[in-house]
Structure 1
Amino acid sequence: MKNISLVVLALLPSLALAQTPASKITQVLVYPGGAKVERAAKVAAGARELKFTCLPARFDLDSLQVQADAGIVIGDISVQTLERVRAPECATSPLDTRIRELEDQKAAIAAEDAAQALVLGYLKNYGKDKPSSPIASTAEQLRRTGQDALQRQHQAQRRAEVIEKQLAPLVAERERLIAANPQVRTVQIRLAAQAEGELRLFYRLKQAGWTPVYRAYLDTNKSQLRLERHAQVAQTSGEDWTNVNLRLSTAQPNLANRINPPYPWTLDIRPPISANKYEMQLAAAPAPMAKMITVTGSRRSADDEEGAPNFDVSVFQGEFAAEFVVPGKVSLSSDGQRGGFALGNQTLEAHIKVHVQPQQEAQAYLLAELTRPAGSWPAGNLQLFRDGDFVGQSQLRMDSEERMELFFGRDEMVRVQTEPEQRDAANKGFIGSRAEQKIGHAYVLENLHKKAITLQVLESSPVARHEDIRVQTQFSPKPAQDTWHKQPGIIAWQLPLEPGKTVRLSADYVISYPKDAIVNGLR
């Protein structure tokens, strides 16, 4: 016995030299197109080697980084990729514990069912070798015993069906995870640990990301808009994220990090070509191909937290991107299911208008104009709510403009009438050398609300692109803008309209051009 103890004590220093401690994911930083994972493992004093085993084989090897506490010197790092079947220690799955629990329950139910079947078999054979008189005296007792056994057997079968319904999807998911990750990686690190500490492993992967989702709540009585940020996070990295610190960044490292240099602007005179050759070139020109747009769906899940939850999200606005720290510990499986997280909200003052474009549609729409909020706001799906009612969805895309506009559905309490278009054509000029067209548009708008509104009505007026085309315009009343949003020819009326009142807007155009000219865009 003393010799055995001495052998064990002699082996202890060598066991401390090489370690394969259980590592766990402690923190994940998710980008719109990838993630950076941080794993941590304890290092014992005197250790000379440490292994991170059963890592997914999908992370970028070039991104591998190692950090250690003071007193731990890091040496060379090697990575080995193995088939999962060659790594028995990696054959387990996070679902195994739950699957074993259900299998144990199923086995217990099967044992109970077999016991009841044994009782029923005994009752069926009871009295075959006995005279009939004892059977008659115990018939009622046999009936009660048999009935109780049959009921217990039926209840056991029902419980077995429930267990099987819970077990089947878990087994299928375990098989799917193993099939989707046939390979694993082992990271072996040589080190010199003078004291106990922690070693952290970092790597990036592309099988993860998050998508921003926004909700805009417009309060028409207070003229305020509450803009909520949400995030949908999903990952298929091959390893579950369990009780990790989750951070979300608006940075996009997968995008191009530089712009191509400009090309020289050269001018030259094209050599003349014959008419036949020109016609052949036109005939040979292929039709443009349609662009394909891929639209992805979204799914949402929720995570339960123990105790009183804290839902405050810390936001760090850097010089170039924003970063959100999700409170508490977060768990996200590697099955592609999306987890939803709230990232805070802002309340903005809104200038509410009734927007009308009568040339296109005799319908009014509610428009909220507001100052662009500060910070980084990646483009994402936007759900719209007007006074608590869902009115549709759109895309939130904040450009470089200081003001932004959001539409909140139709306003049925503003009646829009478009009068028939007035047209008059004539020839004018020296011996009728010019043609002239007179076009008149008129619209009548009525406010059916019980309060005053602000109207914004847009009209596309003709703009001459050639010196031989002349355009005269007359508007009543005078528009507030003649280049709405810096677009030539788009005029905008903006005026208040009291409840129950109507207003008539008119636009008259006189367009003249050479009689023999073909004018593009003339309606």
Structure 2
Amino acid sequence: MQKKLIMLAALLPQLALAQNPANSKISNVLVYPGGANVERLARVAAGARELKLNCLSARFDVDSLKVQADAGIQVGDVSVQTVDRARAPECANTSLDLRIRELQEQKASISADSEAQELVIGYLKSFGNEKSGSNTALVTTAEQLRRTGQDALQRRLSAQKRLNELDLQLTPLLAEQRRQFQANPQVRSVQIRLAAQNEGEVKLSYRLSQAGWTPVYRAYLDTVKSQVRLERHAQVAQNSGEDWNGISLKLSTSQPNQSSQLYPPSPWALSIIPPLPKQTFYAEPKMAPPAPAPVARAVAAPGDYREAEMPSFDVSVFQSEYAAEFQVPGKISLNSDGQKTGFVLGSQIIDAQVLVRVQPKQEAQAYLLANAARPAGSWPSGNLQLYRDNDFIGQSQLAFGGQEKLELFFGRDNMVRVEVEPELRDDANKGFINSRIEKKYTNSYVIENNHKTAVTLQVLEASPVARHEDIKVESKFTPDATQNSWNKQPGIIAWQLPLEAGKKLKLRADYTISYPKDAMVNGLR
């Protein structure tokens, strides 16, 4: 008997190592648009034969689960079990659960004190029914009853006030707890067979889709220095079913969910469409259109748990951009509540050319523009907030795509006045010249600089472009255009020239368009 007890005592530490759930901690998270890769660490003792991790989120992709271990620890088979959260009360260990239990314990303590005061008050109310002694003793007793009763009533009032305050704190927390329970009705446990020759760490990594990030940019234009400070920001949110506390956070522009290969093109096949057979159509009496079918509405059945609504992370905005990773400094904590948290990823100072652009045919208004070389690195498309000399101007979208340059508008320039003169047309000379019709158009613009300093003016004009050999176009610009195909776009001409302070500039465009008299020309005004 003594020998069996000795053997059992020797086996108990190994049984404990094999059966007790291990403590694990999320250490690193790589978040990309529409998902995240989570790394979790657990420490095992020398001689361990099994590692069991409980209370994991049931939302991760089981097929993506990967287990790695330090040298000297061999990893065997891995099994995953999913259970209802109601059957795992030990998993109610989030910061929200702990805060709710703390408030509930405070409420229970105050309620016990309040009930004790009720007993005192009840006793004092019944005290007068007993037989009293002398008058002196009665006066002394009455004064003691008054003081004791007053103290008991004040204590009860204070306790009730404190209970009401705790209820106000508990109500939103309990509502959030119910929401999280409905959004995450299940938890997972991972059981790993291993052979640990020495103490070390086991790392689990898995992917989940209930997380994401989106970029936000801020552009600050310094009109004096002709520089743009471009700041990177990120908004991150996760609803994975478990909080991320004290993690190392990285943000990536890669998209694991997008297509990873290119399919061969289909041949360009040409064929003759056979003529359609002649058909005879008969007029049918008109009938009232049928009533629209009722729209079916989804009704959640009892126990039908649906995923909580997540912030929208539009993966498409990241297309055509190269992947990059951003390391968020320090240790980060993100609760599993879907709330967005902002991070600053850095900034760059870019030298820019500040222009005043006018497109008079579209609008008689000048706009401030900053042109600069495209900054290095990956810049996924995202919301852009604009500041001009530290004044907020508005919002736009930063989307480079395949562009080589950065072009940012910084609002209207009301110190530059634009006047569009009425268009002149030569309608009197519509006679036939060599069986052709000729039309003449004259557009004139006056631009005035009311700034105290000179500005660089850029005016864009859409000139007519012939798409047929029988259409002839002659264009004359005064002064001569700086670019005849602005940004390699035929028909878009540009004037770019300095305009001194307090000066005016007149621009003129003359067009002569001729075409055969029997032709119908599309695009004429």
Residue 169 of structure 2 is matched in structure 1 by 166
Structure 1 residue aligned with 2:237: 234
Q: What is the Cα deviation at residue 16 of structure 1?
A: 3.1
Alignment TM-score, normalising by the size of structure 2: 0.86
What is the match of residue 76 of structure 2? 75
CA contact (8 A) 2:356 2:457 kept: yes
Relative to structure 1, is the Cα distance of residues 223 and 33 closer, same or farther in structure 2, using a 3 angstrom cutoff?
same
| CA deviation profile, 1:203-261 (whole Å, cap 9, x unmatched) | 11111111011111111111111111011111111111111111111111111112232
Matching residue within 385, 389, 397 for 1:383: 385
SS in 1 for 2:352: strand
Amino acid at match of 1:159: R
| 257-266 vs 221-230, greater mean Cα deviation | 257-266
Which among 196, 200, 207 is matched to residue 199 of structure 2? 196
Q: What's the C-alpha RMSD, in Å, of the aligned pairs? A: 2.7
1:464 alignment partner AA: A
In the aligned structure 1, how far is the partner of 2:8 from the partner of 2:193? 26
Mapped partners of 2:92, 2:39: distance in 1:
23
Partner deviation per Cα, 1:395-443 (whole Å, 9 max, x = no partner): 1111233211001111111111111111123334457x22221111111
2:64 is aligned to 63
Q: Distance in 2 between matches of 1:26 and 1:120?
A: 56
Structure-2 separation of matches of 1:90 and 1:96: 9
Match of 1:343 in 2: 345
Question: CA 1:120 to 1:86, structure 2 compared with 1: closer, same or farther past 3 Å?
Answer: closer
| Candidates 346, 355, 358, aligned match of 2:357 | 355
Is the contact between residue 93 and residue 174 of structure 1 (CA under 8 Å) also seen in structure 2? no
Partner of 1:288: none
Specify the alignment match of 2:504 in structure 1: 502
Shift of 1:369: 0.6
User: 2-side partners of 1:275 and 1:476: how far apart?
Assistant: 60
Question: How far off its partner does 1:386 sit?
Answer: 0.8
Question: How far apart are 1:18 and its partner, in Å?
Answer: 4.5
Aligned length: 485
Query: How far apart are residue 321 of structure 1 and its match?
Result: 2.4
2:353, 2:370 within 8 Å by CA — same for their partners in 1?
Answer: yes
Distance 1:82 1:47 in 2: 25
Looking at structure 1, the residues matched to 397 and 349 of structure 2 have their Cα atoms a distance apart, in angstroms, of: 19
2:160 is aligned with 1:157: yes
What is the CA distance between 1:136 and its match in structure 2? Answer: 5.8
What's 1:262 paired with?
265
Distance 1:436 1:297, change over 3 A: farther
Counterpart amino acid of 1:504?
Answer: K
Q: How does 1:420-499 map to 2 (within 5 A)?
A: 420-425=422-427, 426-430=429-433, 433-499=435-501
> 8 Å contact 1:298–1:338 — kept in the other structure?
no
Q: Mark the CA change 1:102 to 1:445 in structure 2 (over 3 Å): closer, same or farther.
A: same
Q: CA deviation at 1:188?
A: 1.6
Which residue does the alignment assign to 2:326?
A: 324
Q: 1:84 to 1:298 in 2, by over 3 A?
A: closer
8 Å contact from structure 2 (residues 373, 404) kept in 1: yes
After the TM superposition, which of the residue ranges 435-444 and 3-12 deviates more from structure 2?
3-12
Q: Which runs of 5+ in 1 are unaligned?
A: 278-295, 300-318
8 Å Cα contact 2:473-2:513 kept in structure 1: yes
Provide the residue aligned with 1:113 in structure 2: 114
- 1:55 deviates by 1.6
| TM-score (structure 1 length as normaliser) | 0.86
Runs of 4+ aligned structure 1 residues displaced above 6 Å come to 1-6, 137-141, 272-277, 296-299
CA deviation profile, 1:291-346 (whole Å, cap 9, x unmatched): xxxxx9689xxxxxxxxxxxxxxxxxxx9522111111111111111111110111
Please show how residues 34-433 of structure 1 align to structure 2 within 5 Å.
34-129=35-130, 130=132, 133=135, 146-268=149-271, 320-425=322-427, 426-430=429-433, 433=435
Displacement of 1:138: 6.9
Amino acid aligned to 1:416: V
8 Å Cα contact 2:77/2:193 also seen in 1: yes
CA distance in 2, matches of 1:17, 1:140: 68
The amino acid of 1:101's aligned partner reads E
Q: What is the SS of the residue equivalent to 1:367? A: strand
C-alpha distance in structure 2 between counterparts of 1:514 and 1:144, whole Å: 113
Distance 1:115 1:159, change over 3 A: same
Query: What's the secondary structure of 2:476's corresponding residue?
Result: strand
Unaligned runs of 5+ residues in structure 2 are: 281-309, 314-320
Match for residue 513 of structure 2? 511
